[in-house]
Amino acid sequence: MDNMKNDNFKEKYRIEHDTIGEIKVPADKYWGAQTQRSLENFKIGTYKMPQEIIQAFAYLKKAAAIANTKHRVLKDVHCDVISTVCDEILSGKLDGNFPLVIFQTGSGTQTNMNFNEVIANRGNEILKGDPIHPNDHVNKSQSSNDTFPTAMHIAATIAVADKLLLAASMLRDSLLQKEKDYMGIVKTGRTHLQDAAPLTLGQEISGWRSMLDHNINFIEKNLREISEIALGGTAVGTGLNAPTGFDETVAKEITRLTGHCFVPAENKFYALTSKGGLVLMHGAIKALAADLLKIANDVRWLASGPRCGIGEITIPENEPGSSIMPGKVNPTQCEALSMVCLQVMGNDGTIGMAASQGNFQLNVYMPLIIHNFLESARLLTDGMNSFRVHCVDGIQPNLERIKENLDKSLMLVTALNPMIGYEAAAKIAKKAHAEGKTLKAVALELGLVTEAEFDEVVDPGKMVGRAK
């Protein structure tokens, strides 16, 4: 029985050690003792380190190895094998070796060591000699305190520049096409959920499109704030144990590997302890979420009905809307995007609080910050793509309902203000509403204008300004 247990033990586990002592590690995994301790000590929740951070660390460790070799503090053979393993990580070959949760040490030290251990163990499997050490080689010229914030900026930049901005631009282009298509359709406006002066459907949509133009601009401007990286500051910002010029060399290598411009932070003490750049960028992302929520709500109001709501536009019927009411179809894409936007707003509060809570030379809420940041970027990217494909691209005007609502609008009387004054125009509107009459009938009845004057002035097509 004891022999069977020992055989089973040998098949499933191996012994790794760190400065605390020995520990059993799964035999089929490349991580080491510190990763295993984190797994056992932090069984908190289900949120794992985001895939974007795993990719970012692979870029970072490869760039650091190359920079260390250029500065003659790392052997070429070690640089080559570290680079090879990082490429394997980027290709997904080593997925399953990065199991740590978000709620661990606030500096991300255990995730940094997770990478150091995986790269070293896999690298030694490839080398079969002249072994590399997770701290002495893979982590050379680095500290968790400067690698994790650097990985945060790499991951955030890629998520925003390559994905979020693309999704926003595609949604913007879809709205621009609708804006052009419907610029000539005159409809009633609404302010305070009450009837207002007319505009065109294209003008209404242009407001949505312009929101995205502005949001894209806000986000693009803030990319500069997360292009600075902490790498080279090591433990407290002084650069202890890193060669002179390492920060500039590694920033150039990360730029080359990722295709995005990164520069060394001018003040490493700032870079280690402040997360202001990520707070600012997420603020721009929150602004996008706020405008998207407004757009989604406008769309579902305008599409409400189909008979007892506003019903001025139709949206695609993607799925049945009720398990009991036959034929009901709901604005589900609007609802999904709305929930995404609320999640982003909640994430923003978490990020702001977490960024304010570091002490002295280090922020120790970094895993939480980047988890929420990347979740926001990912959700908004997916949400905008889904909203565009399954809703916006299929928006169509309901011309009959638009005309019906426009003809009934009392606010067309606004055009008479310059001719008869505000109070007289208000008298027409109130009397027409109270007696269920048309504006024209009341205006003529009160003798305030002639029929020809009314027809000339109260023309919705002339009231929409620059519509083309």
Residues 250-296: tens digit of each pLDDT: 999 999 999 999 999 999 999 999 999 999 999 999 999 999 999 99
**Residue numbers annotated as active site:** 192, 322
Residue 5 has pLDDT above 50, yes or no: no
Q: What is the pLDDT of residue 103?
A: 98
Q: DSSP 3-state assignment of 95? A: coil
Q: What is the pLDDT of residues 414-437, one digit of tens each?
A: 999 999 999 999 999 999 999 999
Instruction: Decide which of 1.20.200.10, 1.20.1250.20, 3.40.50.11900, 1.10.287.110 is the CATH code for 146-231+263-399.
Output: 1.20.200.10
Mean pLDDT for the stretch of residues 212-236: 98
- Per-residue confidence (pLDDT) for residue 129, from 0 to 100: 85
pLDDT for the residue numbered 195: 96
Q: pLDDT > 70: what percent of the chain?
A: 97
**pLDDT at residue 4 greater than cutoff 80:** no
The residue to which tokens 């509107």 are assigned: 429
d(CA 269, CA 230): 8
| Residue 10 reports pLDDT greater than 60 | no
Per-residue model confidence (pLDDT) at position 11: 66
At residue 3 the predicted structure's pLDDT band, cuts being 50, 70 and 90, is very low
Does residue 2 surpass a pLDDT of 60? no
pTM reported for the whole predicted model: 0.95
Helices (H) and strands (E) in the chain, counts: 18, 8
- The per-residue pLDDT for 1 is 34
Domain with CATH 1.10.275.10 in the chain: 2-140
Distance CA 362, CA 226 (A): 17
For CATH 1.20.200.10, list the domain ranges present in the chain.
146-231+263-399
Smallest CA-to-CA distance from 246 within 378, 74, 459, 41 is with 74
Give the mean pLDDT of 322-331. Answer: 92
> How far is Cα 51 from Cα 56, in angstroms, rounded to an integer?
9
Residues 121-141 pLDDT 10s: 999 999 988 999 999 999 999
| Start-to-end C-alpha separation, the chain | 87
Q: What pLDDT is attached to residue 333? A: 98
Residue 105 pLDDT grade (very low, low, confident, very high; cuts 50, 70, 90): very high
Tell me what pLDDT residue 204 has: 98
266 vs 212, 238, 301, 406, CA distance in Å? 32, 12, 50, 59
Contact between 253 and 264 under an 8 Å Cβ cutoff? The reply is no
Residues 6+ apart with CB under 8 A from 64: 140, 141, 142, 147, 231, 250, 253
Is there a contact between 100 and 48 (Cβ–Cβ < 8 Å)? yes
- pLDDT one-digit tens code per residue, 156-210: 999 999 999 999 999 999 999 999 999 999 999 999 999 999 999 999 999 999 9
Q: What is the mean pLDDT of residues 322-351?
A: 96
- Pick among 2.60.120.20, 1.10.1740.10, 1.10.760.10, 1.10.40.30: CATH of 409-462: 1.10.40.30
pLDDT digits 0-9 by tens, 431-459: 999 999 999 999 999 999 999 999 999 99
Nearby residues of 281 by Cβ (< 8 Å), 6 or more positions away: 156, 160, 219, 222, 223, 225, 226, 373
* Nearest Cα to Cα of residue 137 among 155, 152, 156, 123: 123
- Tokens (6 digits) for 150: 């650097």
Task: State the DSSP H helix or E strand holding residue 291, giving kind and residue range, or none if neither.
Answer: helix 276-302
Per-residue confidence (pLDDT) for residue 354, from 0 to 100: 98
The CB density around residue 144, as the number of other CB atoms within 10 Å, is 22
Euclidean distance between CA atoms 233 and 220, whole angstroms:
27
Please say if the pLDDT value at position 390 is more than 60.
yes
Are 13 and 26 in contact by the 8 Å Cβ rule? The answer is yes
CA distance 325 to 329: 9
Q: How confident is the model at residue 466 (pLDDT cuts 50, 70, 90)?
A: low
* Cα 322 from Cα 262, distance rounded (Å): 50
Token pair belonging to 41:
């000590």
Residues with Cβ within 8 Å of residue 182, at least 6 apart in sequence: 200, 201, 202, 205, 397
What is the assigned CATH class of domain 2-140?
mainly alpha
Q: Which two tokens stand for residue 420?
A: 């008869």
pLDDT of residue 468: 57
Residues of the chain with CATH 1.10.40.30: 409-462
